[in-house]
Amino acid sequence: MVDLIVSINGPAWFNTFDSIFQLLFAVITLIICGFSYKAYRLLQERRYKYFSVGFLMISAGFFVLSLSNLLIYLHVYDGIVTRLGGLNVANLLYMGHIFLLLFGYMLLLVVAMKLQQRRLTALLFAFIILFTVFSYQYYLKFHMISFMLLAFMAWQFYDNYREKKNLNSGLVFSTFYMLAFAELFLLAMVFMPILYVVGHILQLIGYGLLLLMFILVHKATKAVKSKRK
């Protein structure tokens, strides 16, 4: 049987709580996906389509991670592995989580960087597939790449905020700043386990800010429609 690439991280008292956080991330990003899809249907702008699919992938990735960790905490994995004849379900679920999140981040990066060349986009996605299948030390490399992707997006959205200087652009920038910062804490967790908890809290704040932005936009859109009537 192959070795697990999944490891339970953070302090012992946070076990199971991290799965709750991850499930909450999955729900929040799924709601954001719904708001983005509504914007796409209304405006027919491709960026909202990418945003919608990107957050759908991120939502699925967090759901898979939450399920994977819960199965470990509940000691379910041994039975599953035996029934599948030695296939390591833990490995498959964690690799699926990595692929889904990086795929989602790449779609968001395409929107943030306004990439138009399909060949470049295809090359980036090919890189994700190769990394997922052939990488080693999955946890560290995954969070390093996630930090770089999120930091680039934060930088791009900061330029957008400096140009527009409104609440919504500030919330978007703050979201990706928080998410990028959270990755640093998740990486530093190997030296101080409590930072794993801090990373999850920062992720919750980040996704919460983005959800708030979409709620504000939705309310403003409804208010404009009601005035027109």
Spell out the SS3 assignment of 114-135.
CCCCHHHHHHHHHHHHHHHHHC
d(CA 69, CA 4): 12
Residues in the chain: 229
Can you spell out the DSSP letters for 152-198? Answer: HHHHHHHHHHHHH-SHHHHHHHHHHHHHHHHHHHHHHTTT-THHHHH
Check residues 217 and 185 and name the one with the higher pLDDT.
Answer: 185
Q: Using alpha carbons, list the distances in angstroms from residue 113 to 27, 131, 147.
A: 26, 22, 16
pLDDT tens profile 119-152: 766 777 777 777 666 665 677 888 888 999 999 9
pTM: 0.86
Examine the pLDDT at 50 and tell me if it is beyond 90.
no
Examine the pLDDT at 197 and tell me if it is beyond 90.
yes
- From the CB of residue 8, how many other CB atoms can be counted at a distance below 10 Å? 13
Examine the pLDDT at 181 and tell me if it is beyond 60.
yes
d(CA 30, CA 160): 25
d(CA 168, CA 54): 19
- Cβ neighbourhood burial of 108 (10 Å; 0-12, 13-18, 19+): buried
Q: For residue 223, what pLDDT is reported?
A: 66
pLDDT tens profile 76-103: 765 444 444 445 676 678 888 888 999 8
Check residues 206 and 111 and name the one with the higher pLDDT.
Answer: 206
Examine the pLDDT at 222 and tell me if it is beyond 80.
no
Question: Please, what is the Cα angle at 173 between 117 and 194, to 5 degrees?
Answer: 110
